[in-house]
Amino acid sequence: MLAYTYVEPGKFELLEKPRPVLQDSRDAIVRVSLSSICTSDLHIKHGSVPRAVSGITVGHEMVGIVEEVGADVSTVCPGDRVTVNVETFCGKCFFCQNGWVNNCTDPHGGWALGCRIDGGQAECVRVPYADQGLDRIPDTVSDLQSLLVGDVLATGYWGAQIAQIQPGDTVLIIGAGPTGLCTLQCVLLQNPGKVILCEKDPDRRQFVAEQYPQVETVAPEQVVEKVKAWSCHGGADAVLEVAGTPESFRLAWECARPNAVVVVVALYDGPQTLPLPDMYGKNLIFKTGGVDGCHCKEILELIAAGKIDTTSLITHTYPLREIETAYELFENRRDGVIKVAICGQSE
Ligand SMILES: [Zn+2]
Ligand SMILES: [Zn+2]
């Protein structure tokens, strides 16, 4: 089968590989219908994910049809249409039992698919702990509607959950990339009073203004002043930082009101500075990433109910054999691209 492969830093290649086989009684084999390209894939390509293993098939955001299950898989059967979770987790250890599946203590726990084990930018993928890693897609929900559930939408949902948003709150989201836009949809479900989205790219601000007219959009240069003007207590009640730059990190705590929750959803290239003397008296609560991706079932129900719809974020679709072109487009952010879908089936 065809599999897009991390060959060495700087080099991905579409290679012919054997189909994956069950390696454990809790595994499932999934035929990939659609996969997507994530910024984390680019981090692997550029060698900034030290744990990434060369030779693995990349891709950790996908939906497909279960082809085969091990003897101990009980929640899905061959023929089921499923979302695949970016995180591998056992469901039994201390962290899993508390819902902190990102910290699962299994040797393969956490982000393994498409990083340490073969992922889904391929015709088929082996999913370990299939009972935890797969969720059945409701019949009324399409593959395209559920494509982002296992990764960026799971991240947005998790961020919005831990931000402790109260009805009527002013919420600031920094960054309108795919994860920021998923975060926005999940924040809107929490009945905030006002949502402000800070983004430097005017095209992305325009996109948000058109899609979500109830949301205020603002450029980073104006955000401190605008958030102050638009909130009741001198700053946002909750801030979700999804941009991942030193500037956005600073804005996140600057724009927060005293005693606010600041959720750091973003992944940074390097350490960030907490200038504690400048922050003294703000009594902020920081919550740092990454995602505990164990709410895919709830997210699928919200999609089925028409409360979340990320299809407008998927701006381009390519067949697997043209994945090189898809990466080139995504990496260079050409043609207004937000997310690219890859059709897994080879005709
Ligand atoms: Zn990702
Ligand atoms: Zn676990």
What's the rounded Cα separation, in Å, for the pair 294 and 135?
Answer: 10
Task: Give me ligand 1 centre to Cα 29, in Å.
Answer: 20
What predicted TM-score, i.e. pTM, was given to this entire model? 0.95
Residues 241-252 have pLDDT tens digits of: 999 999 999 999
Task: Give me ligand 1 centre to Cα 343, in Å.
Answer: 17
CATH classification code of 154-288: 3.40.50.720
Task: Give me ligand 1 centre to Cα 150, in Å.
Answer: 9
Task: Give me ligand 2 centre to Cα 88, in Å.
Answer: 8
SS (H, E, C) the chain: CEEEEEEECCEEEEEECCCCCCCCCCCEEEEEEEEECCHHHHHHHCCCCCCCCCCCECCCCEEEEEEEECCCCCCCCCCCEEEECCEECCCCCHHHHCCCHHHCCCCCCEECECCCECCCCECEEEECCHHHHEEECCCCCCHHHHCCCCCHHHHHHHHHHHCCCCCCCEEEEECCCHHHHHHHHHHHCCCCCEEEEECCCHHHHHHHHHHCCCCEEECHHHHHHHHHHHCCCCCEEEEEECCCCHHHHHHHHHCEEEEEEEEECCCCCCCCCCCHHHHCCCCCEEEECCCCCCCHHHHHHHHHCCCCCCHHHEEEEEEHHHHHHHHHHHHCCCCCCCEEEEECCCC
Q: Which CATH superfamily is domain 2-150+293-343 in?
A: Medium-chain alcohol dehydrogenases, catalytic domain (3.90.180.10)
Would you state the structure tokens that stand for residue 213, as one six-digit string?
Answer: 């007219």
pLDDT in tens, the chain (347 residues): 999 999 999 999 999 999 999 999 999 999 999 999 999 999 999 988 989 999 999 999 999 999 999 999 999 999 999 999 999 999 999 999 999 999 999 998 999 999 999 999 999 999 999 999 999 999 999 999 999 999 999 999 999 999 999 999 999 999 999 999 999 999 999 999 999 999 999 999 999 999 999 999 999 999 999 999 999 999 999 999 999 999 999 999 999 999 999 999 998 878 999 999 999 999 999 999 889 999 999 999 999 999 999 999 999 999 999 999 999 999 999 999 999 999 986 54
* Ligand that comes closest to the CA of residue 62: 1
Hey, where are the domains in the chain? Answer: 2-150+293-343, 154-288
Q: Tell me, what's the pLDDT at 345?
A: 65
Of residues 49, 77, 50, 53, the one with CA closest to residue 65: 77
Q: Cβ(88)–Cβ(128) under 8 Å?
A: yes
Task: Give me ligand 1 centre to Cα 231, in Å.
Answer: 32
Mark the residues whose beta carbon lies below 5 A from ion ligand 1.
Answer: 38, 40, 151
Task: Give me ligand 2 centre to Cα 93, in Å.
Answer: 4
What's the rounded Cα separation, in Å, for the pair 183 and 265?
Answer: 9
* Ligand that comes closest to the CA of residue 90: 2
Task: Give me ligand 1 centre to Cα 121, in Å.
Answer: 12
